[in-house]
Amino acid sequence: MKPTITTLFLLIISTMTLTAQSGIDDFFRSTGKIYTVLGVVVILFLVLIIYLIRLEKKISKIEKQINDE
Amino acid sequence: MDIKRNWWKVLSVILMLYVIIAGILIPIKPGIIDYDNASAETGSPYEVTVKTYNTHFDKAQGLRTYLLLPNNELLVADSSEVINAAEVKASFNIPRRVLRGESESMDLSLVIDNEIDGYMQFPEAVRIRPSTTDTFNRAYQASALMPLSSLRDVDDFKFPFRPIVYETIRNTFFHVAIWMAMFIILIVSCYHSIRYLMTNKLVHDQKSSALTSVALVFGIAGLLTGSMWARFTWGTWWTNDVKLNMTSIALLIYCSYWILRSSISDIDTRARLSSVFNLFSFVALFILVMVIPRLTDSLHPGNGGNPAFGDEDLDNTLRTIFYPAIIAYTLIGLWIAQLTVRYHSAKDNIELLIYNKSN
Amino acid sequence: MLQRIFHIAKRDLTLEFRERYSFLSALLYLVAITFIVYKVFGRIEQPTRIGLFWILILFTCINVVSHSFSFHSQKRKYYHYILYRSYELIIAKWGINLIKMIVAGLILAFLQSIFANEPLKNILLFSQVYVLSIIGMTAAMTLISSISSYSQNQNTLIAVMSIPLLIPILLIGMRLSLISERIIMDTEINNYLMMLVGIDIIYVAILIIFIPLTWKA
């Protein structure tokens, strides 16, 4: 279906699992776990932006087609 | 851009800004994180050091520490010694007759209040056991009692404090809201599927498929953010939780929707069949939402076996941001879907143009 | 109307009988897997046995029902569409699938009782649960096989599309059969049965409403 999104999903999951050592853990748990909130916002942002970039690419392909005609 | 026709896009941006700014800047209420002594005996002194979050003990004047008794009276600590802004050492003299029976033990809540932060409590923090020593000391003076109404409450606009969750309560606006937006978008998508089946206009099919793909993206975002949140509150990336299983099934269903679409080449057949499948899978999803939570317990609040959050689960301060967040995500989703639809119709027009030219 | 449904069912059954190898191969698959599993693992615990039962039923259901539309040439479909009302046709077809699945379930339960050397503890409840869940499962599968008969890779598509949709039925069915085997205790048997009946009604209604739409070609 959507290769980029699926690969992104796998990528994020695998990197998160790899980096899930105690140092990172402590970081995300510090100051009342505020960095977890930050992480969640960043993930949300990234997913939306990547989807928009995909759309953007598709549209620019069409624009090229129009210019060629 | 025509503002009058696209007012909802402007609204989505404004709401989104509001959600991000207010959702991150409004502080959470103070609360008790940790304490070092969880057991006490009747008729003997009890000392505890309490760590708190977001408190101003160093600036506050009248800091008091209490234990909440079962008859809703407060046992006031004889001394509450401030260590720093977020740490206090309290000592109690537990009375001889807290307990009704002889061998019974009970859990009391730890409560702290001052005039700046208001009151905060840690439910069922201290276990009180009957005294094991027989010595009867006449000089022993138990701590004073106060009525519950003497607690000082501060009325300010802050997010509630919950144990373990702490600041991540803000994720309600980013994680929970995106799920809600996903469901709303799916409902809109079903509406367009029905419209397609009634009118046979391809526009509706395009709309419905674009909405489904946006919903899928929202679903993936929700799953990833949920995974992140779960890691630092429940300790694992993936719990065997009802809602997680349900949503992963939902994502599976909508992935198969895309496989179905890509495997049929005829446009009208594809539109018809995928509309039917879309409706069917929404009904199945609805059943899933109702059925599976009844079979097992859930870590998520509001499901079986998790009464701890109770009515504070979504309090009014959270609501003022949570509902706008849902609307904002839904509008942004509709916006993205609209762009996708416009892209598809532009593509169709161009292909038609090329086709006409070549003939 | 009932008469016409019976007529269609009878004619379809004779057709099926001529092409009986498809159903027999599905049964053979069922028997072979049960045999292999019991030979490989020797003794199987009761909960595993129930899980195995439902998974095998799921795959047999996919095998059996996915054949119900693949034989239909475009012409015969068109002919059917003129001759009968679509819901009559689909009820007949669904009834046949139901009968086939009941046969398959009987065989599987019988085989498992023999291999495990332990009969089912509450046959009445178990068969009730089985029939109720198979009604919903065949209804969903019939609709999906009708949808996917237009695509090129029909068999994979059926598996991919149907399994998520069958999960609620499977979960309740498994839970109820575990209760009937007295592995877990639960007093809400009637509630679960009502849930199953509700899902059946919804799925059958969807089947009857949507099937004409998938045939309009």
Rounded to 5°, angle at Cα B180 from B176 and B186:
145
Question: Pick the residue with more confidence: C21 or C70?
Answer: C21
The question of ipTM being above 0.90 is answered as no
Say if residues B33 and B53 touch (Cβ distance below 8 Å). Answer: yes
> What value does the mean pLDDT of chain C take?
83
Residue A1 has pLDDT above 50, yes or no: no
Q: Which of C137, C154, C155, C161 to mutate to test the interface with B (most CBs of B within 10 A)?
A: C161
Contacts of C148 in chain B (CB under 8 A): 260, 263
Question: Pick the residue with more confidence: C99 or B148?
Answer: C99
Q: How far C134 CA sits from the closest chain B CA (Å)?
A: 16
Question: β-strand B73-76 against B31-35: which pairing, if any?
Answer: unpaired
Residue B334 has pLDDT above 90, yes or no: yes
CB contact under 8 A, B228 and A9: no
Beta bridge partners of B88: B50, B82
Distance CA B33, CA B110 (A): 11
CB contact under 8 A, A43 and B217: no
- The pTM (predicted TM-score) of the whole model is 0.81
Give the residue from B337, B336, B333 showing the smallest Cα distance to B206: B337
Say if residues B19 and B106 touch (Cβ distance below 8 Å). Answer: no
Distance CA B82, CA B88 (A): 5
Listed in order, the ranges of chain B carrying CATH 2.60.40.10 are 31-150
Q: Which of A14, A48, A65 to mutate to test the interface with B (most CBs of B within 10 A)?
A: A48
Distance CA B231, CA B229 (A): 5
Contacts of A62 in chain B (CB under 8 A): 343, 346-347, 350
B176-220: per-residue pLDDT in tens?
Answer: 889 889 999 999 999 999 999 999 888 999 999 999 999 999 988
- pLDDT average, residue stretch B28-53: 83
- The residue behind tokens 């959270």 is B318
Q: Is B301 helix (H, G, I), strand (E, B) or coil?
A: coil
Tell me whether B217 touches chain A (CB under 8 Å).
yes
Contacts of A17 in chain B (CB under 8 A): 237
B118-148: per-residue pLDDT in tens?
Answer: 888 888 888 888 777 666 666 777 778 888 8
Give the residue from A11, A6, A15, A40 showing the smallest Cα distance to B217: A6
B355, amino acid identity? Y
CATH code linked to domain B31-150: 2.60.40.10
pLDDT band at C54 (very low <50, low <70, confident <90, very high): very high
